[in-house]
Each structure stands twice: as structure tokens, then as C-alpha cells.
Amino acid sequence: MKNDNNNFLVSRLKIGEETAYNSLIDLYNQRLYGYALSLTRDHAQSQDILQNVFLKTWEKRKKLDIHTSLKNFLYRAVYNEFINQYKKKRAIMVLEQTYYDSLEKAVLAQDDPSYERINKEITKEIKRLPLKCQQVFILSKLEGLTNTEIANYLNVSIKTVEAQITKAFNIIRGKVRTKYDMVFIIVLGKNARG
């Protein structure tokens, strides 16, 4: 009889009855929450998993194709959602670790005694830039103005500002070359890779 009730509930869900959706939540919320909690050991993540499962069930209600029982379907959906969140969290952890490794290298490079010498060499090359190029570059990289602010201040187009910054990077990079690439990026920012 219970299976018939579940079949009736699914058929009502498929036609978009909100009362059927509410009944589904009332019927399975506690049990699914307990299951999600056994997987995550985290109350907030378990709630998040349940919300996603119920939301996806509602969004895909017209295509619901349940071969086993509704209960098994929902438990499987909770498990799949847990796995998806685990994979995303793991990918984020890998990205964070890569970021921290890069940050550590950058800090170590700054502690290197040659860092100061390289920084002086870059500053010397900035002073050798053509006047307009030097002015735009200093306003951008050392003063922190945006390209739009520089264009307005110097009464030139944004394209001119971008061209001057690119030109400055190319000239400076050509002078200090690859042995200083990491420090060059640290001193002048991420756009220095150009």
C-alpha cells in the first residue's frame, strides 16, 4: 500500500502539485537529513544537500523516472549530491593549495637578498622609459590608478593608456629578462606576465 501512495505522490509531483511537493518534504525530510548527516558529519552541509535534492526533484518533476521506490530514489539523490559537493570541495582545496604554494614562493623570493637588487634594477628601467610611457606606467602600477582615471587625467584615450602600459612592460621585461620573472611579477603585479 505504501508503494501505491508513493506512486500517487510521484504522479501528483509530475503534474506540478505543490501540495505533493510539500508532502514529499514532510515525509522524507527527517530521514534524509539523518542520512546526509551520517555522510557529512556537518549540519549546515547536510541542510544544503537536502535543499539541493528537494529543489532538483521539483525542477525535474516532469521527467521523474523512478525504477525502484521513491525512498531509494531520494536516498540515492542525497548520496549523489554528497559526492558532487565532495568533488567540488576537493577541487577548491587543490586550487587553494596551488595558490598558497605560489604565495609561499613569492614571499621567499622577497626574502631573497637579490630581491632588493632586482627591484632597484626595475626602478632604474622605469626611469629610462620614454616620458609619456613612464608617466602612464607610474600612474598605473605605482600610483594604482585605473586606465580610465589615467586617460581622464592625461586627456588621452584608454587605448593609448593600454598601449603605453604594454610598451612599458615589454621594454622593462626585455631589460631584466627571465632570471627576474618571478620578482618582476611580484613587484609589478599579475599583469606583468603579458
Residue ranges per structural domain of the chain: 2-100, 112-193
Question: How much is the average pLDDT of 140-153?
Answer: 84
Q: Tell me if 2-100 shares its fold with 112-193.
A: no
Question: How much is the average pLDDT of 20-41?
Answer: 91
- DSSP characters over 152-176: HHHT--HHHHHHHHHHHHHHHHHHH
pLDDT at residue 104, rounded to an integer: 64
Residue 183 has pLDDT above 60, yes or no: no
pLDDT at residue 89, rounded to an integer: 78
Residue 194 has pLDDT above 50, yes or no: no
pLDDT at residue 70, rounded to an integer: 85
Residue 35 has pLDDT above 80, yes or no: yes
**Domain 112-193 CATH assignment equals 1.10.10.10:** yes
Confidence class of residue 189 from pLDDT cuts 50, 70 and 90? low
Confidence class of residue 61 from pLDDT cuts 50, 70 and 90? confident
Residue 27 has pLDDT above 50, yes or no: yes
CA distance to 101, 141, 193, per residue, from 107 (Å): 10, 20, 18
186 C-beta neighbours (distance < 10 Å), count: 19
The better pLDDT of the pair 98, 156 is held by 156
In angstroms, rounded to a whole number, what is the distance separating the alpha carbons of residues 20 and 24? 6
Element (H, E) at 77: helix 70-111
Selecting from 1.20.120.530, 3.50.50.60, 3.40.50.300, 1.10.1740.10, what CATH number does the domain 2-100 have? Answer: 1.10.1740.10
Q: Provide the whole-model pTM.
A: 0.48
Question: How much is the average pLDDT of 90-99?
Answer: 68
For the chain, give the number of residues. 194
Q: Exposed, middle or buried, 188 (CB in 10 Å: 0-12/13-18/19+)?
A: buried
Pair 82, 40: CB distance under 8 Å:
yes
pLDDT at residue 193, rounded to an integer: 47
Average pLDDT, the chain: 79
